[in-house]
Amino acid sequence: MGQLDNIEFVVILTKYKDKWVFCWHKKRESFENPGGHVEKGETPIQAAKRELYEETGITDCEIIPLWDYEQPCLEKDWDKITAIVADATYDITDEEELSDYKRRIGQKEDGK
């Protein structure tokens, strides 16, 4: 990591209790990895933590940078990307949030 300067976007490959976490993107109608743009003054790690919280509610996780890559982006000027792994230890206790979270990680209501 660190081969590209001025990282503009982070993609966060997130695991919670050995399951991958995806977020529903309403506009594209698809499940996607959490992620988003790096704000001015932020590092990619700070952006990853912020985006992970905003999109999933996860606040406690281990962040592991993986690699940087470039990919043309037609919608915005975000073509320098960092991929990051987050191992979440966050526990959701509110039943409504837990039900929503299980849907996002692909777990059925019965826990399987």
Q: What is the pLDDT of residues 22-69, one digit of tens each?
A: 888 888 788 888 998 889 999 888 999 999 889 888 888 888 888 777
Q: How does the average pLDDT of the chain come out, rounded?
A: 74
Q: Which of 82, 76, 89 lies closest to 15, judged by CA?
A: 89
CA angle centred on 16, ends 109 and 53, rounded to 5°: 100
Q: Which domain holds residue 28?
A: 9-105
> 77 lies in a domain?
yes
Is the residue at 111 inside a domain?
A: no
Which domain CATH number covers 101?
3.90.79.10
Overall average pLDDT of the 12-28 stretch: 84
Cα–Cα distance for residue pair 97/48, rounded to 1 Å: 21
Q: Is residue 4 part of a domain?
A: no
* Structural contact between residues 53 and 86, judged by C-beta atoms closer than 8 angstroms: no
Q: What is the pLDDT of residue 61?
A: 85
Q: Classify residue 1: in a domain, yes or no.
A: no
Kindly state whether residue 79 falls inside one of the protein's structural domains: yes
112 belongs to a structural domain: no
Identify residue 34 by its one-letter amino acid code. Answer: P
Whether 78 is in a domain gets the answer yes
Count of domains for the chain:
1
**105 contacts 20 by C-beta, under 8 angstroms:** yes
* Cβ neighbours, 10 Å, residue 48: 28
In this structure, is residue 39 part of a structural domain?
A: yes
Distance of alpha carbon 56 from alpha carbon 33, whole angstroms: 10
